[in-house]
């Protein structure tokens, strides 16, 4: 009886005449998907981890609004896929993006899925992660700087705001955002609204109806952190008119802290955006000295609301 052992061909000879032939296994490279927060737009606000991953990605899947300066940081050999641009100029449906990511990973590729800001904040990162993991694909999330943190406003501030809430102002066409207005209208807190430019008039009306003062400062920040950044400092009662001047992407930062932004601009810089048409905006009559005093003693800030614009003025644009 032959003893167990390897023969010259490399097969394992078991007891009896049975042979277990072990073929040299082909190494299958496992793919991986990294859901990476790209931050608000300024490439310097990428995390070190995001930068490293971009440098070694085989494929980068990104949205239409991802700045070119960030895409340029990817490996020159990386394949770039824009899921926000098709012939019809529509974004690829989420299900198709999920299928694409799964298929690329199954090809053994290292995939970086760039997502604006932080993947988990109004970014559908959780959905993409769940689908990938359910498909057996290795997937990880890399946090990013969310847009609110680049708005240039201290979102909490001693004596002015002890809490900050991030909400979405997105609503199905013609509908209203489904939010807890009574809770959001309470004083001493900052409310940051993402995707709220086109619903700004409804948001302002709801907050005021729930008790938030019409004189509450609001700063609308468009393209935060980018060279194209625009800011409008206004009040809740004038928000509907003033927000219509911007195109987005933009955030609404609602609360007393919004008035502090003036004091935080570099010395010599003028407050906020300039009115495009004389009288077409309502602006807070808050100057730099007021705001600096406000930082030392917020209760001393008095907000003077200029007169209402003539009826019919103030363009309303579809935003975002
Ligand atoms: C689908 S949400 C994605 C948010 C993203 N995940 C984040 O953490 O910032 C898109 C919205 O984020 C806001 N946003 C994103 N980038 C922005 C920027 N650079 N400036 C102002 N708002 C921005 C706008 O409200 C925009 O409509």
Percent of the chain with pLDDT over 70: 70
Q: How many angstroms separate the CA atoms of 222 and 280, rounded?
A: 19
Beta carbons of 194 and 234 less than 8 angstroms apart = no
Q: How many angstroms separate the CA atoms of 201 and 243, rounded?
A: 8
pTM above 0.85, yes or no: no
129-174 tens-digit pLDDT: 999 999 999 999 999 999 999 999 999 999 999 999 999 998 776 6
How far, in Å, from the CA of 59 to the mean position of ligand 1?
A: 23
Q: Where in the chain is the domain with CATH 3.30.950.10?
A: 148-300
Q: Which residues contact 144 (CB under 8 A, 6 or more apart)?
A: 36, 37, 38, 39, 46, 47, 50, 115, 116, 117, 118, 119
Residue 284 DSSP SS3: coil
**The token pair that represents 68 in the structure block:** 């070119």
Residue 115 annotated to the active site:
no
225-259 tens-digit pLDDT: 999 999 999 999 999 999 998 998 999 999 999 99
91-109 tens-digit pLDDT: 788 899 999 999 999 999 9
Q: Ligand 1, residue 144: give the atom nearest the CA.
A: 8
Fold (topology level) of 148-300? 3.30.950
Among 117, 142, 196, 219, the mutation site with the greatest number of ligand 1 atoms within 8 A of its Cβ is: 117
Q: Where in the chain is the domain with CATH 3.40.1010.10?
A: 32-145
Q: How many angstroms separate the CA atoms of 172 and 15, rounded?
A: 71
Closest C-alpha to 249, from 272, 218, 281, 221: 221
Residue 287 annotated to the active site:
no
For residue 317, the model assigns a pLDDT of 31
Which CATH architecture is the domain 32-145 placed in? Answer: 3-Layer(aba) Sandwich (3.40)
Mean pLDDT in the chain? 80
Catalytic member of 49, 58, 82, 85: 85
Among 64, 122, 123, 261, the mutation site with the greatest number of ligand 1 atoms within 8 A of its Cβ is: 122
């Amino acid at each position: 009886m032959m003893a167990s052992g390897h023969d010259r061909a490399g097969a394992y000879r078991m007891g009896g005449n049975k042979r277990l032939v072990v073929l040299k296994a082909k190494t299958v490279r496992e793919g991986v998907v990294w859901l990476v927060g790209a931050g608000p737009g300024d490439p310097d606000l990428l995390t070190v981890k995001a930068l490293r991953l971009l440098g070694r990605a085989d494929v980068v899947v990104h949205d239409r609004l991802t700045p070119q300066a960030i895409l340029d940081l990817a490996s020159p050999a990386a394949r770039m896929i824009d899921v926000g641009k098709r012939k019809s100029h529509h974004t690829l449906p989420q299900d198709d993006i999920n299928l694409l990511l799964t298929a690329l990973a199954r090809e053994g590729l290292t995939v970086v899925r760039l997502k604006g800001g932080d993947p988990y904040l109004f970014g559908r990162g959780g959905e993409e992660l769940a689908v990938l993991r359910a498909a057996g694909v290795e997937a990880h999330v890399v946090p990013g700087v969310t847009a609110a943190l680049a708005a240039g406003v201290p979102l909490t501030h001693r004596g002015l705001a002890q809490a900050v809430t991030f909400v979405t102002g997105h609503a199905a066409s013609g509908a209203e955002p489904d939010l807890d207005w009574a809770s959001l209208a309470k004083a001493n807190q900052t409310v940051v609204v993402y995707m709220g430019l086109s619903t700004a008039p409804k948001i302002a009306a709801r907050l005021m109806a729930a008790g938030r003062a019409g004189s509450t400062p609001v700063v609308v920040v468009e393209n935060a952190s980018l060279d194209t950044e625009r800011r409008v400092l206004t009040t809740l009662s004038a928000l509907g008119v003033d927000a219509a001047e911007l195109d987005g992407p933009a955030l609404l930062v609602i609360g007393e802290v919004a008035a502090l932004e003036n004091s935080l601009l570099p010395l010599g810089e003028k407050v906020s955006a300039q009115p495009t048409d004389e009288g077409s905006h309502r602006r807070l009559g808050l100057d730099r000295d007021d705001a600096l005093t406000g930082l030392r003693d917020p209760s001393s800030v008095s907000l003077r609301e200029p007169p209402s614009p003539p009826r019919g003025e103030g363009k309303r644009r579809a935003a975002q």
